[in-house]
Amino acid sequence: MIYGIGTDICDVRRIQASLARHGDHFAQKILSEAELATWRARSQRWPERGVRYLATRFSAKEAFSKAIGLGMRMPMTWRLCEVDKLPSGQPHIVLHGELKTWFEAKGLSAHISVTDETDYAASFCVVEDKSDSALPSFSLGTS
């Protein structure tokens, strides 16, 4: 059963301006440790690709926060939500700390899609309720 959906579009130029104003501090606020390592490596090889990576993560976390219905309120924080990828390249959400505990206690599962172009990054997230209580209840009666 669908628990929630979220979508976000992010202007890559806005992310670039934030990086120019705040430097690495902005990326450190948004990205997990693993994401920071990837961002730094991409930024060194091709700075534009690093900015788009940060924009997609920003967008994906916004979409996820909308899908779970919390926005950026505890236990949802930028760094407790990580966007990783499977060996196939498919993105997936990895949660940490209080957010992971909250999410698992509710029996939720997330699906995320991210994309970017020169000026924009966009994400779409579907969160499913996998708990037994999410299943509709009905009885087979006799007539």
Q: Which domains does the chain have, with CATH numbers?
A: 2-132 (3.90.470.20)
Q: What is the CA radius of gyration of the chain?
A: 17
**DSSP classification of residue 96:** -
Q: Residue 97's pLDDT band (boundaries 50, 70, 90)? A: very high
**What backbone torsions phi and psi does residue 26 show, to the nearest 5 degrees?**
-65, -50
Q: Looking at residues 90-104, what average pLDDT do you find?
A: 97
For residue range 47-94, list pLDDT tens digits in order.
Answer: 999 999 999 999 999 999 999 999 889 999 999 999 999 999 999 999
